[in-house]
Chains A and B, each alone.
Chain A
Amino acid sequence: GAGVSQSPSNKVTEKGKDVELRCDPISGHTALYWYRQSLGQGLEFLIYFQGNSAPDKSGLPSDRFSAERTGGSVSTLTIQRTQQEDSAVYLCASSLGSGINFQQYFGPGTRLTVT
């Protein structure tokens, strides 16, 4: 596809269940990012991948959150034992280029609602 895609677009889950969110970056983009945006709030950095490795996992809110990226492409963000405070829009972005030519391309997000 031409842009970053994320699935599902919406997910409603019961408290305590596990969820998996998927991100398909733009083909060839080496860097991939996950952010969380709570209703009307700012962007909270979660994790960033350079290729398949994650140089910085410091943004993950708790050990219930994990992410992986395989083949330098698709990434999944997993939230175990979901809590109501996990409800948010989860945004994925990918990028190519560096320096002043750097630009992130964002996906449409996955809206997660934990009931």
Chain B
Amino acid sequence: AQTVTQSQPEMSVQEAETVTLSCTYDTSENNYYLFWYKQPPSRQMILVIRQEAYKQQNATENRFSVNFQKAAKSFSLKISDSQLGDTAMYFCAFMKHETDDMRFGAGTRLTVKP
């Protein structure tokens, strides 16, 4: 079974600064997908960014980028120019290639301070 570990239960950052959230995973698979989801207080889960394991280039979406280190099985999320609206729980997730089986980490609660 795949496991996803987020070692930072809580983090905070000043508005406009940069923060990096850590995620590691354990798998014997070679092809898979990685995701970061955001869950604001509204409880709705929102997809932030996704990465294909066979692509070496790190995915970016506006202020959000990842540092994907396949050999180290690490998938960190960098949020640049943090905004108050970024305050949320962030979940890292793993999915094996050609399956629908998605597994999540325990989450990191991020607070952006004014």
User: A residues near B, CB below 8 A?
Assistant: 30-31, 33, 35, 40-43, 45, 48, 50, 55-56, 58, 89, 91, 93, 95, 98-100, 102-104, 106, 108-109
Q: Label chain B's interface by main secondary structure.
A: loop
Interface centre among B6, B33, B52 (most CB of A within 10 A): B33
16 other contacts beyond A43-B105, A99-B97, A104-B47, with CB at 8 A cut-off? A35-B104, A41-B107, A42-B91, A42-B105, A42-B107, A43-B104, A56-B101, A93-B45, A98-B98, A99-B33, A99-B52, A102-B33, A104-B45, A106-B44, A106-B45, A109-B43
User: In the complex, how many angstroms separate the beta carbon of B95 from the nearest chain A beta carbon?
Assistant: 6
* 16 sample A-B contacts, Cβ–Cβ < 8 Å, listed by A number: A33-B102, A41-B106, A42-B104, A43-B91, A48-B101, A48-B102, A98-B98, A98-B99, A98-B100, A99-B98, A100-B33, A100-B52, A102-B102, A103-B47, A104-B102, A106-B45
What size tier do the contact residues of chain B reach? 20 to 34
- Enumerate chain A residues within 8 angstroms of B106, measured Cβ to Cβ: 41-43
The yes or no answer to B103 lying at the interface (CB within 8 A) is yes
